[in-house]
Amino acid sequence: MNKLPKIGIPIVIIAIAVIIILFKSAVDIDSGEAGVLFRPFDGGVVTDEPPLREGFNIIAPWNRVTIYEVRQQEVSEKMQVLSSNGLEIKLDASIWFQPQYDKLGSLHQEKGVDYVSRVLQPAIRSAARSVVGRYTPEQLYSSKRDAIQEEIFVETKEILKNQYVQLNEVLVRDVTLPATIKDAIERKLRQEQESLEYEFRIEKAEKEAKKQIIEAQGKADANQILSASLTDKILQDKGIEATNRLSESPNSKVIIIGGGDKGLPIILGNQ
């Protein structure tokens, strides 16, 4: 070191200082992320400029950058809420969200990096309590799951309207009722199903009985009409027509005119 020229020492120091400054000034932001710039000598958090984009960025060495993930994220939430009649319901939901990109500076300044626990989770819990409290356990168990999912989404989105968080979807994965209530509801549903099946069988039997009555009445009416139309004269004419056809048959027979009932012929065959 003693052999180095005196001018070489300042150059080495300057080079090291430049390297340190460049290292402090370079910010590499990964895909799906953005950076919020903090200027300690110029107003603090930058909220009136777009956030730093992904890639390589150069900033003043005394400034700082906080990096946020700006792609869609998911958080799972398990909640215990009360139904309309005061029973405890366990709700398992997933929330899809992301920070508002153009409001990232304001989000950092007002909420901070832990905005999920400060803003998002309280919002979803409040909305879930409000929505589930409007329904009975029976409704939650059966037909209202899609409805409460949509209502929780709408109410959560309203709460987050000015909180710099974009809500994309709320998915209710599971609604768990107390075991005794669940068993009671299932028994009730089975009884209702059995009752519906019994009513269907009765209705089917009544329709079949009515059908048979109508068919029998139709046959009776037809027979009555036929009987009324068959007068003695018509029967005699029909008998004469049949006799004529038989007389023309090649089979041997004996026809006795006037020997039968109502004066109809008696036909005696060779058998």
Beta-strand pair 73-82/44-45: unpaired
Same-domain status, 157 and 77: yes
Q: Quick one: 148 and 172 in the same domain?
A: yes
- Using alpha carbons, select from 146, 160, 145, 59 the residue that is nearest to residue 111: 160
Q: Domain end: 40, 69, 98, which one?
A: 69
Is residue 43 located within the same domain as residue 138? no
CATH code, domain carrying 99: 3.30.479.30
Query: In this structure, are 225 and 236 located in the same domain?
Result: no
- Chain centroid to Cα 167, Å, comes to 19
Range of the domain at 82: 73-177
Outline where DSSP puts E strands in 119-205: 165-176
At residue 232's C-alpha, the angle toward residues 231 and 238, to 5°, is 90
Same-domain status, 91 and 172:
yes
Average pLDDT over residues 50-62: 87
State whether 15 and 50 are in the same domain: yes
Per the structure block, which two tokens stand in for 16?
């090291």
CA neighbours within 13 Å on the CB side: how many for 208?
A: 6
**97-143 tens-digit pLDDT:** 999 999 999 999 999 999 999 999 999 999 999 999 888 887 777 66
Residue 143, in any domain of the structure: yes
DSSP state of 101: G
Residue 265 within a domain:
yes
| Residue 72 scores a pLDDT above 90 | yes
Order across the sheet with 33-39: list the strands: 44-45, 33-39, 64-69
In a domain, residue 140? The reply is yes
Give how many domains the chain has, as a whole number.
Answer: 4
Note whether residue 12 is domain-resident. yes
Q: Are 171 and 195 in the same domain? A: no
pLDDT at 147 over 80: yes
Same domain, 196 and 237: no
Q: State pLDDT tens for residues 154-188.
A: 999 999 999 999 999 999 988 888 776 656 665 66
Cα-only R_g, the chain: 48
Q: How confident is the model at residue 82 (pLDDT cuts 50, 70, 90)?
A: confident
SS3 232: helix
CA within 13 Å, CB half, 55: 5
* Residue 92 included in any domain: yes
Does some domain include residue 172?
A: yes
Q: Is residue 1 part of a domain?
A: no
**194 is written with which tokens?**
């059995």
Domain for residue 165, yes or no? yes
Whole-number percent of the chain with pLDDT over 70: 65
Alpha-carbon distance of 196 to 251, in angstroms, equals 68
